Amino acid sequence: MVTKTVLITGASSGIGQAFAEELATRDTHLILVARSQDKLYRLAKQLQEKTSSDVEVIVQDLTESQAGQKVYDWVEDKGLAVDLLINNAGFGDYGPFAERDLSRQLEMIQLNVTVLVELTHLFLSPMQQRGEGSIINVASIAGFQALPYLSTYAATKAFVLSFTEALWAENKDKGINFLALCPGPTESNFFEAAQFPQSFENKNNGSLTSAETVVKDALNALDNCKSNVVTGGMTNNLIVNASRFFPREFLLSAVEKQFSPK
């Protein structure tokens, strides 16, 4: 079997780490990208001890200018060809939009959208030349529904979902698989990074899906050439389809009540 090279952004925790752990069991050459040097090297060491996969690390803040190009150049310099790109790095920011830090909103757009587009563009061309490859872009169920108090975040995920589905259709007959992964609430550092209040986290604790389950569902969907997958069961599937059955204002008001800090 030919060893596949997989590049995962945001591999130092949560869903990205779970992708690394699962794919390491499949005899891959992994390239892990994030800012947390210690976490990445610790994970790389653990995976190399436990599996036969090669694991390499790129310590990179993906919000820096030219970050995507730097990652791409690193891969090129090593003479590697990425077979599976997982654009997973991302964060949210909870609270009333006008009260949140503007620079944080712009950084979120840079990470969740701009660098994802940059990496997709850079790595897609060589995949098209080879006539094979896969790209998983991590969106969210938030991509299907505007979210008051997570307004910028939900908008970035709507972008990722739309962008990825369009590329699925453009590339389906060229040997390239695209998947928009749309998790519902999942165990990870996401809620802490987004500064959700502890009370909100406690309320949702019982209903969180494990990152391992999200990854298994994603890899199954990729194998089945799906354009998107909603993980986390029936409730999340109902949420993403709600706009087909209810007026938009009704849904927005209901979601506003659910997410309101008051």
Can residue 183 be called a binding residue for ligand NAP (CB under 6 A)?
yes
What mask of x and - would describe binding to ligand NAP in positions 136 to 175, judged by CB under 6 A? --x-x-----------------------------------
Residues 183 and 155: their CA atoms lie apart, in Å, by 15
> Are 102 and 144 contacting, i.e. CB atoms less than 8 angstroms apart?
no
Residue with smaller CB distance to ligand NAP, 34 or 221: 34
State which of residues 89, 158, 179, 255 lies at the interface with ligand NAP (CB under 6 A): 89
User: Is 153 considered catalytic here?
Assistant: yes
Nearer to ligand NAP, 88 or 114 (CB): 88
For ligand NAP, the closer of residues 13 and 53 by Cβ is 13
Whose Cβ is closer to ligand NAP: residue 31's or residue 34's? 34
Strands (E), the chain: 4-9, 28-34, 54-59, 84-87, 133-138, 176-183, 228-231
Tell whether residue 57 is a contact of ligand NAP (CB under 6 A): no
Cα 251–Cα 206–Cα 186 angle in degrees, nearest 5 = 70
Looking at beta carbons, which residue is closest to ligand NAP? 14
State how far the Cα of 144 lies from the Cα of 215, in Å rounded to an integer: 20
- Dihedral sign (CA 185, 190, 194, 198): positive
DSSP character string of 173-185: TTTEEEEEEEE-S
Contact between 34 and ligand NAP by CB under 6 A: the answer reads: yes
Least distance to ligand NAP, CB of residue 16, Å = 5
The sign one gets for the Cα dihedral 139, 144, 149, 155 is: positive
- Could you list the residues that contact ligand NAP (CB under 6 A)? 10-16, 34-36, 39, 61-63, 88-91, 111, 138, 140, 183, 185-186, 188-190, 193
Q: What are the catalytic residues?
A: 153
